[in-house]
Structure formats: structure tokens, C-alpha cells
């Protein structure tokens, strides 16, 4: 009984924190590897503030088009990549986009300078559209140290 009460209270708190009653995910660590070729990758961490959701699209002004991708490192070390329709953000958990895993690929990207910030629109299935700022970083620093 006590446990159920705690769950209820957490629900109320979570709802209170959402902007205008919605549950927009919190996005942090948004970064784009400085473009070195025709394409660049955008990474970020999205943390759920409510029910599960799905990232269904993204947009930027600095590239011809945008796709959601997953890099795959096979057991034998071979690297591959595939396009996905959406990324799942579990309830109360985080969705992490990082090198070697999920990323938003910017195809036909403009030349961008390290330190520059880029406005990115993320489209979620439930909460809709949000705008974030991603910083352009040296590719050596996309995955940290």
C-alpha cells in the first residue's frame, strides 16, 4: 500500500514538471561531429519525463536531408550501418545517441566549424516538435575520453 502511494506521488511530481502538462523529454549533450566528408552525425541524450515516446524525425537547415541511423559493430569487429524509421524512448529512461550506435545522420551537410551551434528540430510521436541546440565538436571528442 505504501509503495503504491509512492508511485502515485512520483506520477504527480513528474506531471508537474512537464511544460504545460506535457512531458517533453529533456535533451542534453547535443553535439555534431565536425563534418569531414559529405555527411555528419548528430548525437544527444534524451531523458524521458513521462510516458514512452518515439523519435520519428529530425530536421536541420544545414544539410540536404536527415536520416536516423544505427551503426553496428558486429562480433568480428566489422562496422556497418542501417537506416531506422524511429528510435524508442522508454518511459522514465534515456535514449542515448553516441558514436558506434544510434545517430541522426546529416546528409549533404554544410561545412561547419567547431564551436558553432546548430538549431535542430526533433519530432516525437507523442509530444510533437521541440527545438534543441547542438554544438559542433571535433570528431575526436564526439565520444568523450
Partner 1 sequence: MAGTRQSHIVTRLIAVVAVGVVLVGCGRAVATGDLQGVVIESPQPKPSFTLTDTDGEPYEFYERTEGKLTLLYFGYLNCPDICPVHLAQIGEVFKQIPAVARDTEVVFVSVDPDRDTPEAIRDYLDRFDHRFVGLTGTEKELEEAQIAAGVPPAFTVGEGDGYAVEHAGWVIAYAPDGLNHSIYPFGTRQTQWTNDLQILVSIEGES
Smallest gap from Cβ 69 to partner 1, in A, equals 7
34 binds partner 1 (CB under 8 A): yes
Residue closer to partner 1 (CB basis): 23 or 60: 60
Residue 108 beta carbon to partner 1: minimum distance, rounded to whole angstroms: 10
Closer residue to partner 1 in complex, CB, 38/51? 38
DSSP, collapsed to helix, strand or coil, labels residue 64 as strand
Burial 81-107, CB ≥16 within 10 A → b, else e: eeeeeebebeeeeebebbeeebbbbbe
Residues in 48-87 at the binding interface with partner 1, rule: CB under 8 A: 67, 69, 71, 73-83
* CA pair distance 136, 83, nearest whole angstrom: 23
Partners of residue 42 on adjacent β-strands? 32, 104
Among 105, 112, 118, 134, indicate the residue that binds partner 1 (CB under 8 A): 105
Among 41, 95, 122, 127, binds partner 1 (CB under 8 A): 41
- Give the nearer residue to partner 1 in terms of CB position, either 21 or 37: 37
Q: How far is the CB of 110 from partner 1 (least distance, A)?
A: 14
Of 33, 31, 14, 32, nearest in space to 23 by CA: 14
Size of the site for partner 1 (CB under 8 A): 37
Look at the block and give the residue holding cell 570528431: 139
The torsion of the CA quartet 107, 42, 124, 70, rounded to 10 degrees, works out to: 80
State how beta strands 26-33 and 128-137 pair. Answer: parallel
Residues that bind partner 1 (CB under 8 A): 33-41, 67, 69, 71, 73-83, 99-100, 103, 105-107, 138-145
Amino acid at each position: 500500500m505504501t509503495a503504491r502511494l509512492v508511485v502515485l506521488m512520483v506520477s504527480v511530481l513528474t506531471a508537474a514538471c512537464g511544460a504545460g502538462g506535457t512531458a517533453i523529454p529533456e535533451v542534453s549533450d547535443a553535439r555534431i561531429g565536425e563534418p569531414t566528408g559529405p555527411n555528419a552525425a548528430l548525437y544527444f541524450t534524451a531523458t524521458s519525463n513521462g510516458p514512452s515516446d518515439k523519435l520519428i524525425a529530425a530536421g536541420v537547415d544545414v544539410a540536404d536531408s536527415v536520416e536516423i541511423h544505427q551503426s553496428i559493430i558486429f562480433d568480428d569487429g566489422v562496422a556497418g550501418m542501417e537506416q531506422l524509421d524511429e528510435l524508442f524512448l522508454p518511459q522514465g529512461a534515456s535514449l542515448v545517441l553516441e558514436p558506434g550506435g544510434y545517430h541522426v545522420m546529416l546528409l549533404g551537410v554544410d561545412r561547419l566549424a567547431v564551436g558553432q551551434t546548430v538549431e535542430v528540430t526533433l519530432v516525437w510521436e507523442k509530444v510533437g516538435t521541440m527545438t534543441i541546440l547542438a554544438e559542433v565538436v571535433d570528431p575526436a571528442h564526439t565520444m568523450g575520453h
